[in-house]
């Protein structure tokens, strides 16, 4: 741990020595302080994106209590995951992140599978952010300009048409992709600006609704529970003319649900017991808490990395927990006339609350603030997504690696990685047919990638074999509480993995099974012999890429 009397130059030199011990040379200037490191993860978590986009999803299943109780419950368990990751970031202050941790703790096989789940999670989280942002921006535009929500448009018929929403998603992503390709420095500046936009935005929303809001429900309202849409109805679709039943939906195709062949499942879903609807509604909070591993990815650019990167991972969740809770409580407190049904059924429920409480000027201001936050979140997500895919392609870890790892000679950015992954994000939306399915896939994939190195660290620690975190090699340490917190983190990830593949997210279940089968075949047929894990050249290129 650095001495408080050390100069900045001495601390940086100590950081470089730590990096050398991991086998890498210091390629970049260390100029990022603790706040900037935290800012990256906080911006990607983006409480004005996840908590807003899925506000209605949680409300329709469980009612106001999902915000009052559900958010802090999810937040506390997520803090256990973040703390476990922070300790690993403190031991391995290098930009390899989850991929590198899994390699050191368990070998190339665990590194390979961690990378694949991480990459899938990043593509689907980008898809979820921008698809839902498209729905939000369409709704905000209609409200700002006073256009009826049932307005007819050419080709698509309705603005609620899924393919029209994807078209708007593409239009949102075009400038995000171009900025990532041509202006990596601008991307970095926008990311720093994003922190203040988010914090300032929440403050403005809370103050305006508190001072000028026309509807303030009693405190008891915040603890109410109720189901607006039953899990059975949410899991059903019109399979054939006049035949509405539990369905597996893939794009425009609808099939009878295989899972509902399980005896008693239909009756359980129709009864909508509180525990079931509460667990399903937790997706609202859990999807918000993704992407906070970004602080570990910039460890080599961070001064006093062993501490600041770890704190960046942990505090991004901790601060988001507090700020997000304030925003959700105020929004729920101000639901017009306490009408949960009307709010949950609105296409943009947060805007329904805002416009039902404030003057058009203030409501429009909030609408723009939220839309800007979503766009900034999508921009950062594309940056992270392209960076991870490029890094893994350098190790020949995927088909098409030769193309994906190419760097543009002039702009020094992984153009093909950015473009290909952005196209994949759009295609996944065509496959999923609903953005909350995409968010479930991203949540599960990312948390599997998060938990693998945590489980490997715990295994090694309990067996006293191989590498594992100790107070000596990880200055940010949980000490004797580490194994207990690791176990809680692992159990929590196991729980949400099961919950978020249940109907109405059945497509997630079959998609994950299909993915595991394909990866197993690919591993044994090719990668087990040809994949060698992270190399020094990969790390060096990644460092240069992030600061070019």
Cα-atom radius of gyration of the chain, to the nearest Å?
23
Cα separation of 196 and 356, whole Å? 26
Burial of 396 (0-12, 13-18, 19+ CB in 10 A): middle
SS3 of 454-494: HHHHHHHHHHCCCCCCCCCCCCCCCHHHHHHHHHHHHHHHH
Do 405 and 247 touch, CB atoms closer than 8 A? Answer: no
The 10s digit of each residue's pLDDT in 75-131 is 999 999 999 999 998 888 776 678 889 998 999 999 999 999 988 998 988 998 898
Do 395 and 538 touch, CB atoms closer than 8 A? Answer: yes
pLDDT of residue 184: 62
Do 112 and 527 touch, CB atoms closer than 8 A? Answer: yes
Residue 238, strand partner residues: 244
pLDDT of residue 16: 45
Do 298 and 40 touch, CB atoms closer than 8 A? Answer: yes
pLDDT of residue 20: 44
Other beta carbons within 10 Å of 366: 23
pLDDT of residue 298: 67
List C-alpha distances in Å: 378 to 188, 283, 390, 459, 536. 13, 19, 18, 36, 30
DSSP assignment string, 60-120: HHH-THIIIIIHHHHHHHHHHHHHHHHHHHHH--STTHHHHHHHHHH-HHHHHHHHHHHHH
Do 111 and 102 touch, CB atoms closer than 8 A? Answer: yes
What single DSSP character describes residue 258? S
Cα separation of 330 and 256, whole Å? 41
pLDDT of residue 473: 86
Closest-CA residue to 321 (of 82, 19, 27): 82
pLDDT of residue 32: 59
Phi, psi (deg, nearest 5) at residue 457: -65, -45
Closest-CA residue to 115 (of 545, 539, 533, 548): 533
Cα separation of 442 and 267, whole Å? 29
Cα separation of 492 and 499, whole Å? 11
Question: Domain coordinates of the chain in residue numbers?
Answer: 31-230+272-547
Q: Give the residue ranges of the chain where pLDDT is below 70.
A: 1-34, 95-96, 183-185, 188, 297-305, 409-412, 433-436, 535-548
pTM: 0.87
Task: Mention every residue, 6+ apart, whose C-beta is less than 8 A from residue 346.
Answer: 56, 352
Q: Could you tell me the fold of the domain covering 31-230+272-547?
A: Amino acid/polyamine transporter I (1.20.1740)
Collapse the DSSP code of 238 into the 3-class scheme (helix H, G, I; strand E, B; otherwise coil) and give the result.
strand
């Amino acid at each position: 741990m650095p001495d408080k009397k050390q100069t900045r130059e001495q601390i940086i030199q100590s950081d470089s020595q730590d990096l050398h011990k991991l086998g890498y040379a210091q390629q970049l200037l260390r100029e990022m302080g603790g706040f900037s490191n935290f800012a990256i993860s906080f911006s990607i978590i983006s409480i004005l994106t996840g908590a807003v986009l899925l506000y209605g999803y949680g409300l329709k299943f469980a009612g106001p209590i999902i915000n009052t109780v559900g958010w802090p419950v999810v937040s506390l368990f997520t803090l256990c995951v973040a703390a476990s990751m922070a300790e690993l970031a403190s031991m391995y202050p290098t930009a390899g992140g989850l991929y590198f941790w899994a390699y050191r703790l368990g070998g190339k096989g665990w590194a390979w599978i961690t990378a694949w789940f991480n990459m899938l999670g990043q593509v689907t989280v980008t898809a979820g952010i921008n698809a839902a942002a498209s729905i939000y921006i369409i709704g905000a535009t209609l409200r700002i300009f006073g256009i009826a929500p049932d307005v007819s448009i050419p080709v698509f018929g309705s603005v609620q048409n899924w393919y029209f929403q994807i078209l708007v998603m593409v239009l949102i992503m075009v400038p995000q992709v171009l900025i990532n390709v041509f202006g990596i420095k601008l991307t970095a500046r926008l990311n720093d600006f994003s922190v203040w936009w988010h914090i300032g935005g929440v403050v403005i929303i809370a103050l305006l609704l508190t001072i000028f809001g026309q509807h303030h429900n009693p405190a008891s309202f915040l603890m109410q529970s109720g189901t607006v849409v039953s899990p059975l109805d949410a899991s059903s679709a019109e399979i054939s003319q006049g035949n509405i039943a539990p369905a597996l939906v893939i794009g425009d195709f609808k099939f009878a649900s295989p899972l509902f062949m399980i005896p008693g499942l239909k009756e359980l879903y129709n009864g909508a017991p509180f525990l079931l609807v509460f667990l399903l509604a937790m997706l609202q909070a859990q999807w918000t808490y993704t992407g906070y591993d970004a602080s570990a990815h910039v460890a080599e650019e961070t001064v006093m990395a062993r501490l600041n990167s770890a704190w960046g991972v942990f505090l991004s969740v901790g601060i988001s927990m507090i700020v997000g809770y304030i925003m959700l409580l105020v929004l729920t407190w101000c639901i017009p006339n306490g009408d949960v049904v009307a709010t949950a059924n609105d296409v943009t429920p947060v805007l329904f609350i805002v416009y039902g409480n404030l003057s058009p000027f203030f409501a429009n201001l909030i609408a723009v603030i939220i839309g800007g936050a979503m766009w900034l979140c999508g921009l950062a997500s594309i940056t992270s997504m392209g960076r991870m895919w490029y890094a893994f392609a350098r190790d020949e870890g995927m088909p098409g690696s030769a193309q994906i790892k190419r760097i543009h000679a002039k702009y020094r950015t992984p153009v093909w990685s950015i473009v290909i992954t952005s196209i994949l994000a759009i295609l996944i939306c065509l496959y999923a047919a609903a953005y909350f399915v995409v968010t479930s896939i991203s949540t599960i994939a990312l948390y599997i990638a998060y938990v693998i190195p945590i489980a490997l660290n715990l295994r090694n620690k309990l067996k006293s074999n191989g590498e594992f975190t100790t107070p000596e090699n990880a200055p940010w340490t949980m000490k004797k509480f580490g194994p207990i917190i690791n176990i809680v983190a692992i159990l929590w990830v196991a729980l949400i993995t099961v919950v978020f593949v249940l109907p109405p997210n059945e497509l997630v279940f079959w998609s994950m099974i299909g993915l595991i089968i394909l990866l197993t075949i690919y591993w044994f047929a090719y990668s087990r012999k040809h994949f060698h894990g992270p190399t020094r050249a990969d790390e060096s290129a990644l460092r240069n890429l992030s600061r070019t």
